[in-house]
Every structure is written in structure tokens, then in C-alpha cells.
Amino acid sequence: MTPSRKKRLTYFLVSAVVVLILGKFIFNSLQKNTIYFFSPTDLYLNSENPKGLIRVGGLVKKGSVQENKNEATYTFVVTDLKNDIYVEYKGILPNLFQEEKGVVVEGTLKDKKFLLGKTILAKHDENYMPPEVAEALKKSGNWNKKYDQ
Amino acid sequence: MISNLGAVLLIVSFLTTCSTLFLYIKNNIIQKSSIYLQFFLFYKVSFYLILFSFFVLIVCFAISDFSIISVYENSHTDKPLFYKISAAWGNHEGSMLLFILVISLYGILFLLNSKNINDSLRACTIFFQSIIQLIFLSFLIFTSNPFSKIFPVPVQGLGLNPILQDPLLAIHPPFLYLGYVGFSLVFSLLLAALILKQYNSRWASIAKKWIMLPWSFLSFGIGLGSFWAYYELGWGGYWFWDPVENASLMPWIASTALIHSIVVMEKLKKLFAWTAILTILTFILSLFGTFLVRSGVLNSVHAFANDPERGVYILFIITIITLGSLIIYILKFPKESVNNNSFALFSRDFSILLNNYFLIFILTVVIVGTTYPILLSVFTGETISVGPQYYNTILAPFIFIFLILMAMGPLMKWNGNSLISIKQKIFSFFIVSIFLTILISLYLSRYNFIFLLGVLCSVYLIVSVFYEIVMSKKTFFTKQNFSRLFSHLGFGLLILAITLNHFFSKEINAKIHLGESFFKQGIKINFLKSESSKEKNFEELFGIYKITKDNKTFILKPSVRKYKQPQQFTSETSIQRDGLSDVYIAMDYAGDPSMGMGVRFYYNYFVRLIWISFALITIGGIVSFVRRGNEKTI
């Protein structure tokens, strides 16, 4: 092998190793920080409960919002009109949080029917239906034309 | 009536652009003439036509001409005039017209500021610029005509999303467009130079100026966007790794790499192929960003004004432009320039190469994080999102090393190969920065490892920049590296500010009743009283809060607005300055106000330094552009 070819080969091997390591690094971090979305029905059908941070979306069930004043926590029910899940949330409800409107809650599962909410994602305007929620409602067969704005 | 004028103007500008291209092909390619007067004239006419049609669109919005669909969908007679006007580019159709106007504007700017370049290169550049212009004009006319009519004419419009009714947001998209659409010019310049066999180091010195200008606008635009998100969304943060923010960050990273590699090409006649690829990449990423924002594939805070079908068209355009430019690159790239590509380990050129590797890695991380959820939902139907932790944890260690390299690189010599002459400087900077870091951590009494590392690395860069400024006192204002010092200082301060902000900001969420107060983390929030008022297009409920922190008091007045058209609530934040930090409060209206008002309080440590850093980075770019204005090159 000529010296220049040898040099090129080393260069190639070193960069291949570096790229692989960095790729693995990105991949691992991506795995660790991926937040999956579930509808209440998804969770109901799942045999195993997902661990870590997840998002659950659906409609806020009418009449389900309750405030616990002493602990500044709220509980409410998120539904895709087929299955429900209870959410306990400590914090301030955003402006756009309303009963019978779409909501996405980020948090961890306590058990299949109970989510400890950390963040409520409601940055959109009030007619806006988060696409995940729309999808969840379509899946459960409860999509209504009135949501189609 | 006037709306018909706009539609006609668009068609005429489309035809003029066609004839511009035709003229070039007929006279200069087939007849091989080297007279370009007529061609340039036609191009200028097409620019004025586009400018005029954009002006007509603004007038249509200002007079609320609801016979036009986009005016009907995005405006309302009750809206203040300023927002009527800004609504013109706050929607898809209008913003695409602005997009084309910017393409054309850069063509004209280039034509006016390139008299020192040979005419054949100028003309060929304008030729490619016209092709891009034509592609987007046809996209506009056939898929999203801003002057499309509606019948019967509605009496009232639907209004503009209140979040968009904000002075900053009105000027933020034009700046972003002046940024990333501006990269079209250097892209055209590259293709022209490849075809005319003028792709050499002189090309690099011409092109650099046309990268610096859009780069400065883009930096400024990103800063504005970040500032807008900070005070308007009311979440206390300034960067959310939102896909749309990433869309503007991607071309910024690619162009930053390009700015550095093109210097090596100019000075040492190396990295020809790499620079060409970066130029193409920068423009493609700009278009990709447009696709992400405009297509509706994203679920983000910016998810307004989009339409999936148009996304397919934009994707098609991107494919055509990518393939076209790669074919020209492969066929026309000067092979003889490849031989000279050796780098010595301790040279300035090698440090720039390293800089490029780092930037490409950062770019990859951002691209993967942004597109992975989209690809996954396309192929498997699973809905996921990538949390901000993904970016923070991967990028932080690399940014720290990157800062050190940014400080050491400029100390080395072009083509040099020894550390001996600068060993002393590198070492003494370390001593000084370690000393400063210890002072800072003692003062703030925080000894977290990551915190110390972040402060040390950014202080190291800042120290090195100050050293250079002090040492080159006399020649400071005449030297070429003036702009680099500005931008590097800005970047060092930015990372320092982000580190400080990350470790020392406070967040308090509480529900407080009128007249009562709340105490937590050394901060007392007192809800003094509430007021309400009525404006033309909304009702507003103010809360007046007294904040006490470290014996200082601040009176803040956040509010909740209830808009009439469209019906919607928004929170208006109230922000007061405390040195370089901000006292920040936003109120939430959820239900009955007598039950107490929810407030989100943030103490944003050193957040103002972030805006200052953005300004410094931008100034650096502008200085470089102005400085390069008067050079004789070809």
C-alpha cells in the first residue's frame, strides 16, 4: 500500500468510527426523549402501561373539572367518547382549557386510568383541535363535523 | 376593482419573468451576444411589477376589500389599520407573495451592487434568480393566488388570530424572509459561476458578501421570533425547540458553516467542493423550512395558515431545485481544484474545518429531532414529539468544546503548524477564565459542574475576544476581523446568558385571590386590584400585582384579553426590568375570577443579555457586509 492510500484508509476508518459513535449518541438520546401520544382508548387496549413521560389527548368531559383548593390541584376526565382517563394536575389551567374542548396533557401514568399531569398543552386558539385529538376521536368513531374548523 | 389590478399585475410579472428568461436564452445562449442591457431591464421591470402587486395587496387589506378570499379570511373592519396591513403577509398567500418579492429584491440588489463583476457572471446569476422567481410565481398563481375572489362578497371578514396581532410579529416574518430567502442569490451565484467556469477564490470574495447580508437578517429574525415567543406566549421561555423555530435555525447553522468555509476558499484556495455543497445545502434547508411551516405537517404553536396540499407542491419544487443544482454541480465542478486539500493540525484553516464538523453535527441533531416525528407519523402513524431535553443534553457538551475552539482558532496562523507561539496565550486565557469563573460562582454561590463548565467555556471565548480588541486597539476599526470579533463576542455572551438563565431563573405558579398575597422562593406576590377596559376589538381584564424580591418592589399589570373576532382569550404578559434580568408575570383566566386568578410568575435571570447577544451577532454580520461593499474584486 502506498503511504497516501494508507493515510486515506486511516482517515476513512477514523471518520467512520466517529460518525457511528455520534450516530449512536443521537439515537440513544432520541429514544430517551421521545414522548409518545396516546388516546384514552389506546391506553385501555394496551396490555402494558407506558413508562415515563407521555401525552394523552381528547376532550375534557363535561362537568368533570374539579378543584381542590387546599392543594391547588385540579382533577378532570379526558375522553375520546369511548374510554376515559382521570387526570390530576397541579398548577394553573391555561386560558384555552374548557370543558368539551380538545386538550393534550403531558404527564406520567399512575395506572391505566389515572394520569399525573405535568403540563397542559393548550397554546392554540379555541376552535383549534390538536391533530392528535382529532385522530383519536376519529379512531373511536366519535368524530363530529362541528370540530372541523 | 383594485383587486383585479393585483391579479393582472401578478400575471404580467409572470409573463415578464418568462420573457426575461427567453431573452437570455435567445440573445446570450443561442446568439452568444454579450450585451445584457435589455435582459437586465426586463428583470428590473419584473421586480417593479411584483413590488407593485404586493403594494396592491396591502391596499386591499387596508381598505378591507372582502371580495378577496384572503382578505375575508384574515381581516376584519374592527381591526386597527396597522394589523390590517400586517395581515397582508400574516397569511399563506400574502406571505408567499412576500417570499417572491424578496427573491426579486435580492436579484435587484445584486444587479445594483455588482458593477465590479464581469457582465456574463452577473447576467447568468440573474438568469438563475429568474428561474427561482418563476418557479415560485407559478406556485403562487396556480395554487395560492392572493387575489382569488369570493362571491357573493361578504360584508365582514373572519378576523386575524389575536396571537398574530402584535407589532413584533408584524415585522418578524419579513426579516426571516429577508434572511433565508436571501440565500437564493448566493445559490444562483454558485450555479452561474459553475457554468461559466468562474468558481474560484475570487468567486468566494464576491459571494461572501451575499451570504453575510441574509445571514444578518436571519440572525435578527430569529432573535425577534425568540423575543416574540418570550413575551407573547407567556410561558417564560425564549426558545422551545419548536419545529418552526428549528426550521429557521437549520439554514442559519448551515450558512454559519458556509461563512467560515468560504474564508478558507478565498484565502487558501481550499474546500472548493465543500463550500459549493454548503451553499446548496443552505438554500435547500431554507426551502425545507418554508415547507415545514407552510405545509401543515407540523403541530406547533405556529400551526396557522397552512394547507397540506400545498406542501406537496413545495416538496416537488424542493426536489426539482435540489436535483437541478446537484446535476450542475456534478457536471461542472472544476476537478483541478481538488488536489490542494491538505490541512495541518494546528492551523487556522484546520480549526475552521473543525468548526464546520461541529456545525454539521449540530445541524444533524436539529434535523433529526425535527423530522423524526414527521417521518414516524408518515410511515407508522404513531404520534410522538421530541422533548427539549433531547437537544439540550446532546448539544451542551459539544457547544462547550466548540466555544473553546472558537477562542483558539483565530489565534493560529493560516497554513501554520505549531502551537508553540500561542501556547502562552491559550494558557493565560485559561488562568484568567478560571479565575473569573470562580469569582462568578462564589458570587452566585452555585457550584454545579455543568454550570461551572458552561461559564468557564463561554468566559474563555469572551476573554479571548477582549484580548484581541485590546491588543489591536489602533487598527481595530480598519481591520477585517472587526465583524468576527462582534459575532464571536455575541455568541460567547449568548451561551453565558443561556447558562445563567438556565440555572438561576425561577418559576412560580399560584392561584391568588384579590387582595391576598403569596410567598415562595423568597418572592412575594401581592394581588392588589383588578381593572377592566373595553377596546375596539377586545375587552381587557387587568390584574395589578406587587412583587417583592430582595427588598425591591415591582408593580406589574398583566391582563387577559377577550377578542371578539375571532372569539378567543389571550394572556398579555407584563415584564419589568431588574438589571439584566426580568420580572415576568402572566395571568390565566379559567372560569370565575372571584375564585382567584391563576398567575404564572417567572424571574428570568440575565435574559436581557440574550437579546444583547443576538444584537451583537447581527451587528457583526452587517459590519462585514458593509465593509465588503467597496472592494474591487473582478
Residue A84 sits in the same domain as residue A30: no
Between B361, B365, B384, which is nearest A34 by CB?
B384
Residue B114 lies in a domain: yes
Residue B260 lies in a domain: no
Greater pLDDT, B97 or B479:
B97
Q: Which of B176-185, B300-309, B342-351, B604-613 has the lowest mean pLDDT?
A: B300-309
List of chain B residues whose C-beta atoms are within 8 Å of the C-beta of residue A128: 303
Distance CA(B187)–CA(B353), nearest Å, equals 21
Pick the closest to residue B244 from B260, B233, B256, B255 (CA basis): B233
List of chain A residues whose C-beta atoms are within 8 Å of the C-beta of residue B389: 32-33
Q: How far apart are the first and last CA of chain A?
A: 68
Residue B48 lies in a domain: yes
Q: How far B389 CA sits from the closest chain A CA (Å)?
A: 6
What confidence category does residue B235 fall into, taking pLDDT thresholds of 50, 70 and 90? confident
Residue A17 sits in the same domain as residue A43: no
Residue A92 sits in the same domain as residue A112: yes
Domain count, chain A: 2
What confidence category does residue B313 fall into, taking pLDDT thresholds of 50, 70 and 90? confident
pLDDT over threshold 50, residue B363: yes
Domain count, chain B: 2
- Predicted confidence at residue B375, as pLDDT, reads 86
Residue B490 lies in a domain: no
Residue A25 sits in the same domain as residue A76: no
CA dihedral over A112, A116, A120, A121, signed as positive or negative: negative
Question: Which of B119, B154, B189 finishes a domain?
Answer: B154
- Predicted confidence at residue B212, as pLDDT, reads 94
A44 touches B: beta carbon within 8 Å: no
Average pLDDT, chain B: 89
Residue B628 lies in a domain: no
> B568-592: per-residue pLDDT in tens?
778 889 999 999 999 999 987 655 6
Average the pLDDT over B182-206 and give the result: 95
Backbone Cα Rg of chain A: 22
Residue A48 sits in the same domain as residue A119: yes
CA distances to B481, B492, B624 from B466, rounded to whole Å, are: 13, 11, 19
Residue A26 sits in the same domain as residue A40: no
Q: How far B390 CA sits from the closest chain A CA (Å)?
A: 5
- Predicted confidence at residue B382, as pLDDT, reads 79
> B535-560: per-residue pLDDT in tens?
877 888 899 999 999 889 999 999 98
pLDDT over threshold 80, residue A68: no
- Predicted confidence at residue A126, as pLDDT, reads 47
B560 touches A: beta carbon within 8 Å: yes
Residue B623 lies in a domain: no
CATH (domain of A54):
2.40.50.140
Residue A115 sits in the same domain as residue A82: yes
Distance CA(A58)–CA(A80), nearest Å, equals 5
pLDDT over threshold 60, residue B331: yes
List of chain B residues whose C-beta atoms are within 8 Å of the C-beta of residue A30: 368-369, 372, 386, 390
Q: Which of A58-62, B367-371, B536-540 has the lowest mean pLDDT?
A: B536-540
Residue A11 sits in the same domain as residue A54: no
Residue B620 lies in a domain: no
A32 touches B: beta carbon within 8 Å: yes
> B87-144: per-residue pLDDT in tens?
898 888 899 999 999 999 999 999 999 988 999 999 999 999 999 999 999 999 988 8
B569 touches A: beta carbon within 8 Å: yes
pLDDT over threshold 80, residue B603: yes
Q: How far A69 CA sits from the closest chain B CA (Å)?
A: 9
What confidence category does residue B474 fall into, taking pLDDT thresholds of 50, 70 and 90? low
Residue B279 lies in a domain: no
Average the pLDDT over B520-541 and give the result: 88
Distance CA(A62)–CA(B258), nearest Å, equals 55
Residue A15 sits in the same domain as residue A69: no
Greater pLDDT, B86 or B104:
B104
Average the pLDDT over B164-188 and give the result: 90
B593 touches A: beta carbon within 8 Å: no
Between A34, A96, A131, which is nearest B569 by CB?
A96
For residue B579, what are the domain limits? 506-604
- Predicted confidence at residue A130, as pLDDT, reads 64
Q: How far B232 CA sits from the closest chain A CA (Å)?
A: 11
Q: How far apart are the first and last CA of chain B?
A: 49
Residue A30 sits in the same domain as residue A40: no
CA distances to B287, B311, B325 from B318, rounded to whole Å, are: 7, 10, 11
Between A37, A95, A126, which is nearest B567 by CB?
A126
For residue A22, what are the domain limits? 1-34
Residue A44 sits in the same domain as residue A16: no
A35 touches B: beta carbon within 8 Å: yes
Q: Are A91 and B511 in contact (CB under 8 A)?
A: no
Q: Enter the ipTM.
A: 0.85
Average the pLDDT over B356-368 and give the result: 96
Between A22, A34, A93, which is nearest B588 by CB?
A93
Question: Which of B154, B187, B210 finishes a domain?
Answer: B154
Check whether the bond before B152 is cis (ω within 30° of 0).
Answer: yes
Q: How far A123 CA sits from the closest chain B CA (Å)?
A: 6
Between B301, B390, B568, which is nearest A30 by CB?
B390
pLDDT over threshold 50, residue B633: no
Question: Which of B132, B154, B176 finishes a domain?
Answer: B154
Greater pLDDT, A63 or B476:
A63
- Predicted confidence at residue B502, as pLDDT, reads 94
> A95 vs B372: CB contact, 8 Å cut-off?
no
Residue A75 sits in the same domain as residue A139: yes
